[in-house]
Amino acid sequence: MSTVDPIVKLTDVTFGYPSIGLTAPVLEDVSLEVVPDDFLGIVGPNGGGKTTLLKIILGLLVPQRGTVKVFGTSACRVCSRIGYVPQHAEIDSSVPANVLDVVLMGRLGRSLWGPRYGRKHVEVAMEALERTGTQDLARRPIGTLSGGQRQRVLIARALAGDAGLLLLDEPTSGVDAHMEHGLIDLLRELNASLPIVMISHDISFVSSCLKRVACLNRTLTIHAADEVSDATVAEMYHGHVRAVQHDDSCAHSGADRPKGGKGSA
Amino acid sequence: MQFFYDMADNPFLGMGLLAGILASLACGVMGPIVIARRIVFLSGAIAHMAVGGIGAAIFLAGVYPQTWGWVQPLHGAVVSALFAAVLIGVVHNRVAERIDTLVGALWAVGMATGILLIKYTPGYQTELMGYLFGNIVFVTREEVVMMLVVNALIVVTMLTFYKRILAICLDQQQAQLQGVNVVWTNIVLLSLVALTVICLIQVVGLILVIALLTLPAATAAHHVSRMAPMMIASTVLCVVLTTVPRVAVYGTQISPESAIVLAAGSVYLLSVVYRRVLAR
């Protein structure tokens, strides 16, 4: 792993929100490397610092201690090359805009001036919609989409920015089970050419198709996906979890996952 | 029809009509943004802050006529509304959750300052009523020129910053990741809202400003689903709403300002009912 330059490299990152400060840090001495073909899941209890960690990688938050390198430089200089799919509540669906308008936001950093996006940008956005299988939705108002369609559109927006790294925050919340499987397949496809870091509280989803799992509860521990057991999960949640044994046959190959890959005990 | 016969003799009628149309462009473009950004309440606060400025201008010109005699109420309105816009923009960035409190405070304090200052200005002041309830019958040339300038500013800003503005309406965080300076864009946006409010004060008065800023845009939102067409639709609607009711009630006891707002409200209500019927 040391032969390739990491896409993301966090070293001893400690962060506390200004109102509380370092007396009760959200993250403490977190070190993490994301390599080019990574598919890293981040699990952990609410308040464990998962979203905070993503925002630090994005450069939206600056840690009090430690260093953050993304694509070998400081995060804020390359953040338009990071595709970020936020939790579903963060996009205002009452704003009058259609799907293409939303996806074109991924091109905004390259086309800040003027009233409209050029033809080339629209083409790139349409390609991104095609990659996520949502090209038919391009003219639909963003407020009329289902949870699953919305996630795909937000992934398309991330891709439209020529992302070299995909960060997803709870991509399966608000998505029904059927759509969820499609979403997992899509992410696995994208992972062929793109490193992915994904937050999930859905432990079954996480262990069923990731390469590595990071357990985050203020401090961070990394496991290979197949070594995440009930014991690791219980330890992280302080024993208050009853987990189901999962099928992890797709954890490494990423192919030939048996149908209905989660939750068969 | 009497209106158009009289227009030939009375230039103020034409000036009022022109003011209505110019205000329509400003509020037709800014209204959809105000609704999408959910800053209706904020715009109300900016309008009431303008009263403080109007009061200060009347006070200065009345008490110190030698040095401040040139100050018009409009100048005070512009300065205080822009001040409120910048203040809200800065505070919004620092402590977003406290913005309600600040907006409420500006709303009341602006109004109180204005009333107090006018009370302590020697002489009988009737101008304040005109600003509160509008005075479309008597719009000066200077005011029309100011509206022209505001419209030009809005059009130029939209032509250069439209994509960023749409982006911060949709998803502020993503806009920031794409390199948009969210704080500055917000301040620019709020300043344009402040100037639009000043234009609308001329037409319907500041108490009724909110009606014209929100109702035509909300009506347009029922029928179009993208920002730019919504701006065009609500501009057209604003032009109709500021001219037709005004001409219709000409020569009657009904005040044109109230007629404009009631017409805007009725059109909105009809649009809601129409949509409900269509949905069945």
3-class secondary structure, A13: strand
For A218, other C-beta atoms within 10 Å of its C-beta total 17
Q: How far apart are CA B140 and CA A149, in angstroms?
A: 54
- Res. A16: pLDDT tops 50: yes
Going residue by residue through chain B (280 aa), what tens digit of pLDDT does each one get? 688 888 888 888 888 889 999 999 999 999 999 999 989 999 999 999 999 999 999 999 989 989 988 998 889 999 999 999 999 999 887 776 678 888 999 999 999 999 899 888 887 677 777 888 887 778 888 889 999 999 999 999 999 999 999 999 999 999 999 999 999 999 999 999 999 999 998 888 887 889 999 999 999 999 999 999 999 999 999 999 999 999 999 989 998 889 999 999 999 999 999 999 988 7
The domain containing residue A195 runs over which residues? 8-236
Total domain count, chain A: 1
Taking CA–CA distances from A117, the nearest residue in chain B reads B163
ipTM of the complex: 0.89
In the stretch 4-63 of chain B, residues with CB closer than 8 A to chain A read: 32, 36
If 0-12 CB within 10 Å is exposed, 13-18 middle and 19+ buried, where does residue B12 land?
middle
**Position A50 in a domain:** yes
**Position A94 in a domain:** yes
**Position A248 in a domain:** no
- Res. A261: pLDDT tops 50: no
- Res. A204: pLDDT tops 90: no
Q: Say what the alpha-carbon torsion angle A252, A149, A162, A76 is, to the nearest 10 degrees.
A: -90
* pLDDT value of residue A245: 43
**Position A242 in a domain:** no
Q: How far apart are CA A78 and CA A163, in angstroms?
A: 10
Q: Considering only CB atoms, which chain B residues are within 8 Å of A112? A: 163-164, 178-180
Q: How far apart are CA A124 and CA A100, in angstroms?
A: 11
**Position A32 in a domain:** yes
Q: How far apart are CA B168 and CA B172, in angstroms?
A: 4
The CATH superfamily assigned to B2-279 is: ABC transporter involved in vitamin B12 uptake, BtuC (1.10.3470.10)
In the stretch 168-187 of chain B, residues with CB closer than 8 A to chain A read: 169-171, 173-180
Specify whether the CB–CB gap between A90 and B177 falls below 8 A.
Answer: no
* pLDDT value of residue A248: 41
Nearest to B179 among A80, A114, A142 (CB): A80
**Position A149 in a domain:** yes
What would the two tokens of residue B26 be? 């400003």
Q: How far apart are CA B280 and CA B278, in angstroms?
A: 5
Which CATH number goes with the domain that contains A120? Answer: 3.40.50.300
List of E strands, A154-195: 165-169
Q: Considering only CB atoms, which chain B residues are within 8 Å of A52? A: none
Domain ranges of chain B: 2-279
